[in-house]
Structure 1
Amino acid sequence: MHIHSLYIYPVKSLAGIQVDSFDMDDFGPAGDRRWMIVDEERRFVTQRSYPQLARIQARFSEGHVEVDIPGEGVFRLQSTEETFPVLVWRDWVKARLGESDANDALSRFCGQAFRFVYMADETFRRVDADRVGEYRRVGFADGFPFLITNLASLEELNGRLEQPVTMRRFRPNIVVEGAEPWAEDDWRELQIGERQFRLVKPCSRCIMTTVDPDRGLKDPSAQPLRTLSGYRRTGEGVIFGMNAIHDQPGSIRVGDPVSIIKTENS
């Protein structure tokens, strides 16, 4: 097995970036989901309610994150000194407000008053303590630093769909090639390149998998969630992929070997 592809998401729920390699810090992939969008009540905003966010491209430039907002232009995200608590799922965490120009452009594009916020190094949001006993941190990702998926599982799913979908619908960080479909259900520890990963929770999927990542529209012609519901529903939800944490900072790249250290039954 080896790494097929890698993705980073500089801003939660905006388009991701496919990369050849990434470094890893305490948060997970360096720069991954350190930015987020919030509404006037300081609650997180995603493609679940605003699928058009998929059309906003994000990129790294000279150590900063830039966003290309359709019809508005390109804006460099820069945080101010103003801080306040924001909500991501059940966690209220301290964030820094982004500068106004990007916020105004985002609000015009979405037709709602939205703001970019940044998680600075001094903010500590803990990974789910029910799944990870150590005091580990995560950025604005849903709950864990990494999502690992299996290319063969996507291919098996696409064999059941009238309209095939790409892995971008599932927003992974690491895509593994060379395993059997759904083998990832049983993985508990992996060696990826020189780093080790623990797979701590199956990833339950939501309506975001029905959003066309190119058009930013919910796509009635592709039904990955409905199809998965027919044979991948467990007590954890409708499952595709595994959430993971890493052992320590380092780097990984496309093509790195992937080996199984531990499975559920070993």
Structure 2
Amino acid sequence: MAEVTALYRYPVKGLSAEPLPALTLARASGLAFDREYALALGTTAFDPQNPEPLDKGYFLMLRSNEVLAALATRFDPETGQLTITRDGATLLSEDLTRPEGREAVERFFEAYVGPAAKGRPRLVRAADHKFTDGSVISPAFMRAVSLINLASVRALEERTGGAIHPLRFRANIYVDGLEPWAEMDWVGREVTVAGLRLRGLARTPRCAAVDVNPETARRDTNLPKALKRHFDHVDLGIYLEVLSDGAVAVGDRLNVMPQAEDAA
């Protein structure tokens, strides 16, 4: 039996994970305050009144801006307060519901990232819109959550000969107790966790973002290349579509419904 071992959300695209004891999911909107905000590059055109999904390359993100991994961020949905720390010291704490608070965040990242921000980045948000990587594929992918099978991470560690921090993969749900790569066969199958119904949408292909060490903010691996070399694919993890409203908590058991031919 697979068990949920950790849960995370990422309120601002590209910034640090927030561990939570439970996540509340909704079929209509996915995970609240996950990739709710993004820092659009100074050259990016984004209209909050008419939002269109954009490739992650239009925003600050780890694939191009590994310096982001050196920051620890915390967002309070009730107050709108975003706090940024580094090595335990608070660098910024601003209210994102106020224009001056958003401007302070933008100016911070303009100075912190430097020329790679392509000018002053804009902190953007839009109603019923999420800045997930899959948003460019379909609305279902925009609202999807991501899952990592820790046994697959260990299988990759065995082949590469080094420790791999699971947070490199920036998933919402981490599970253990499965066979390595079992999640690769979940596409189109229903997954249940404590009464919550999900369905496998697609395997998660990996890019250079996973090469950034979340503890050191250094690019110290080439995991997509290692995946291709050792397993003949570049996938690790799976996107799950939310089929019903409900909650998942650390310690919950996960079940995968059999395929039709399996049940026959």
Q: Same fold (TM over 0.5)?
A: yes
Instruction: Tell me the CA shift for residue 248 of structure 1.
Output: 2.4
Q: Distance in 2 between matches of 1:155 and 1:23?
A: 28
SS of the counterpart of 1:67?
strand
SS of the counterpart of 1:48?
coil
Counterpart residue number, 1:258? 254
Instruction: Tell me the CA shift for residue 131 of structure 1.
Output: 7.5
SS of the counterpart of 1:199?
strand
The structure where helix makes up a greater share of residues is: 2
Counterpart residue number, 1:103? 106
Alignment root-mean-square deviation, CA: 2.9
Q: Distance in 1 between matches of 2:172 and 2:212?
A: 18
Counterpart residue number, 1:33? 35
Q: Distance in 1 between matches of 2:246 and 2:6?
A: 17
Q: Distance in 2 between matches of 1:177 and 1:148?
A: 11
Unaligned stretches of 5+ residues in structure 1: 82-96, 139-143
Instruction: Tell me the CA shift for residue 199 of structure 1.
Output: 0.8
SS of the counterpart of 1:217?
coil
Instruction: Tell me the CA shift for residue 200 of structure 1.
Output: 0.8
Instruction: Tell me the CA shift for residue 80 of structure 1.
Output: 5.8
Q: Distance in 1 between matches of 2:261 and 2:229?
A: 26
Normalization by structure 2: what TM-score?
Answer: 0.80
Instruction: Name the amino acid aligned to 2:74.
Output: R
SS of the counterpart of 2:225?
helix
Instruction: Tell me the CA shift for residue 216 of structure 1.
Output: 1.5
Q: Deviations over 1:216-246 (max 9, x none)?
A: 2211xx4432221113334xxx110111111
Instruction: Tell me the CA shift for residue 122 of structure 1.
Output: 4.8
Instruction: Name the amino acid aligned to 2:236.
Output: F
Counterpart residue number, 1:165? 164
Q: Distance in 2 between matches of 1:265 and 1:48?
A: 40
SS of the counterpart of 1:102?
helix
SS of the counterpart of 2:163?
coil
What pairs with 1:224-243 in structure 2 (closer than 5 Å)?
A: 224-234=223-233, 238-243=234-239
SS of the counterpart of 2:257?
strand
Normalization by structure 1: what TM-score?
Answer: 0.79
Q: Distance in 2 between matches of 1:212 and 1:21?
A: 25
Q: Distance in 2 between matches of 1:105 and 1:125?
A: 21
SS of the counterpart of 2:67?
helix
Instruction: Tell me the CA shift for residue 260 of structure 1.
Output: 0.9
Counterpart residue number, 2:13? 12
Aligned length: 239
Unaligned stretches of 5+ residues in structure 2: 45-57
Instruction: Name the amino acid aligned to 1:211.
Output: V
Counterpart residue number, 2:201? 200
Instruction: Tell me the CA shift for residue 154 of structure 1.
Output: 0.8
Instruction: Tell me the CA shift for residue 162 of structure 1.
Output: 2.7
Q: Distance in 2 between matches of 1:262 and 1:116?
A: 45
Counterpart residue number, 2:218? 217
Q: Distance in 2 between matches of 1:244 and 1:171?
A: 14
Instruction: Tell me the CA shift for residue 145 of structure 1.
Output: 2.1
Instruction: Name the amino acid aligned to 2:62.
Output: Q
Alpha carbons 1:199, 1:242 under 8 Å: kept = yes
Q: Distance in 2 between matches of 1:212 and 1:52?
A: 10
Q: Distance in 1 between matches of 2:40 and 2:260?
A: 38
Q: Distance in 1 between matches of 2:134 and 2:91?
A: 37
Counterpart residue number, 1:117? 123
The match for 1:75 among 83, 87, 93 is 93
Q: Which segment is superposed worse, 71-80 or 246-255?
A: 71-80
